[in-house]
Amino acid sequence: MLTEEIINTYYTIGSNGLDLSKMEDDIDDNDVLNVLIPFLTSNPSINFVNLAGHNVRRDGLRALVNFPNLKGLDLSLNDLGNKGARIVATTTTLEYVDLSDNGISRAAKDLAANKTIKILKLYYNDLSDEDAKAFADNDVLEELNLASIGVGNATLLALAKRNKSLKRLDISSNEENITNTGILFFRKNNTLEELYLQDTEIEDLALEVLSTMTKLKKLDISNTGITNKGIIFFKNNSVIEELDIHRTEIEDESLEALATMPKLRRLNLSYTGVTSTGLLYFTNNATIEEFNLQKTEIEDEALESLITMSQLSKLNVASTGITSNGISHLRDNKTLEQLDLQGTKIDDTAFETLATLSKLKMINVSKTKVTGEAVTKFRAEHPGIEIVANDLLENGIEEEKTEATVSEPPSKKIKLSETAYSFIVEWQLPNNTGEEDDVEKESSPYSSPKG
């Protein structure tokens, strides 16, 4: 049973967000009406509430969607169904709504008619193209998440042709339903700033269209049919700042084009065939801040190129051929803040170089050849640097929990972000006590972004 005392354990006085998703006991309509609404009334600074994974239904739902102070509401995993979604659609105050995984199939037209919701998340529901196309005529939505709901090219074409308000669109994990055909009408699109197409059937020709989008800053085309031939279309692209192409068939040849992109800040090439030779194209790169090369074919000489990148602050080389000899190339680096070395071949001698990195805040040395004694010594000498060494837990080293943000929407643990309207889904890193492939679970906290 929910009480004010319980709520206070999850709330920081004066905060604008209240995250109740981690409560083990379900919150139902009675809890909302008798406890939560009075608490919100007494704490008017709260305008975001996370009730993911609870049991809110009808009367409690009506009270929440009409509560005047609320601007954001996460109701994912509440089994609201179409009736609940239609109640949410009546809101005149909410701007952020997450209805993911609620068994919704026939309420898209009601939600599309709403005139206050700017951010709507519907992943893991079951909408048809006929329903989802209704969002094409909504002129208020700025962000729409339709991942893993079964829609296809018809929805994508309708949105591309008719919608002029969307800035962020996630239509990922709709697999064979999304192909090059659905991308055609995005040619020279001048509204979308973020587009998520991972786990779809798009291929190289789609990139010719995507390269013409004049405001596209963030693009995820991971786990698709993209090859070197498609990446060539991005040569000298002056708009894209974040690009995720992990788990594609690209190789060194494509890196020449990527290295010409003057605004590229974040690049994910993990689980591809790139090698140290390809990274030579990034020598003296002055824009990339975050680089993910996990599970690629790079070896020690790659770090000779990477160390010349003047803005590089986060680097993931987990599960590669990097050794302590390669780490020596990083000596006295003044930009790296996070370094993921999980599953590499480094040993205790790497700590001598790591100690010279003046900006270093976090390193992951799990599943390497480093010893518990060396980790303990480094921690004592450098208390400001967080060390992740999960596989050494059994040897008596106390390890802090580390979490990784992922682009997919799992329902492991849901957390209210401090960023306005941004509820993010996080899960804990694996403890790396099993098979070698444990490292493949996107080991870094800066590996795969998503809204």
Residue 154 pLDDT: 97
- Which residues sit opposite 424 in a β-bridge? 415
Residue 325: both structure tokens together: 């000899």
How would you classify the pairing of strands 143-145 and 119-121?
parallel
pLDDT at 379: 96
CB atoms within 10 A of CB 269: 28
What are the residue ranges spanned by the domains of the chain?
1-114, 127-226, 256-393
> Which stretches of the chain score pLDDT less than 70?
393-451
3-state DSSP assignment of residue 235: coil
Q: What is the pLDDT of residue 262?
A: 98
Cα(203)–Cα(205) distance, integer angstroms: 6
For 281, other C-beta atoms within 10 Å of its C-beta total 18
Partners of 72 in the beta sheet? 48, 96
Sort 261 into a burial class: Cβ within 10 Å, 0-12 / 13-18 / 19+. Answer: buried
The closest alpha carbon to 40, from 51, 48, 52, 28, belongs to 48
Instruction: Give 256-393's CATH code, choosing from 2.40.10.10, 3.80.10.10, 3.40.50.1370, 3.30.930.10.
Output: 3.80.10.10
What pLDDT is recorded for position 396?
A: 54
For residue 364, the model assigns a pLDDT of: 98
Alpha carbon distances (Å) from 1 to 22, 38, 65? 14, 15, 22
Would you state the pLDDT for residue 55?
96
**Residues 428, 441: Cα–Cα separation, whole Å:** 10
- pLDDT score for 393: 59
pTM, rounded to two decimals: 0.87
Block residue for tokens 């990922």: 172
Q: Which amino acid is at 69?
A: N
CA gap 111, 284 in Å, rounded: 49
Name the CATH superfamily housing domain 127-226: Ribonuclease Inhibitor (3.80.10.10)
Task: Please classify residue 203 by burial: count the beta carbons closer than 10 Å to its beta carbon, then call 0-12 exposed, 13-18 middle and 19+ buried.
Answer: middle
- For 165, the token pair is 């308000």
**Which tokens is 70 given?**
């609320």
Report pLDDT digits (tens) over 259-318. Answer: 999 999 999 999 999 999 999 999 999 999 999 999 999 999 999 999 999 999 999 999
Please state which CATH class domain 1-114 belongs to: alpha beta
Question: Taking phi first (over 0 means left), then psi (-120 to 50 degrees means alpha), and beta for anything else, what does residue 442 get?
Answer: left
Q: What is the DSSP letter of 224?
A: S
- Sequence-distant (≥ 6) Cβ neighbours of residue 158 within 8 angstroms: 133, 136
Q: 267 — phi, psi (to 5°)? A: -140, 125
Over the stretch 122-162, which tens digit does the pLDDT of each residue have? 999 999 999 999 999 999 999 999 999 999 999 999 999 99
- The dihedral built from the CA positions of residue 138, 143, 148 and 154, taken in this order, carries a sign that is positive
Q: Do 256-393 and 1-114 fall under one CATH topology?
A: yes
Closest CA to 6 of 29, 31, 30: 31
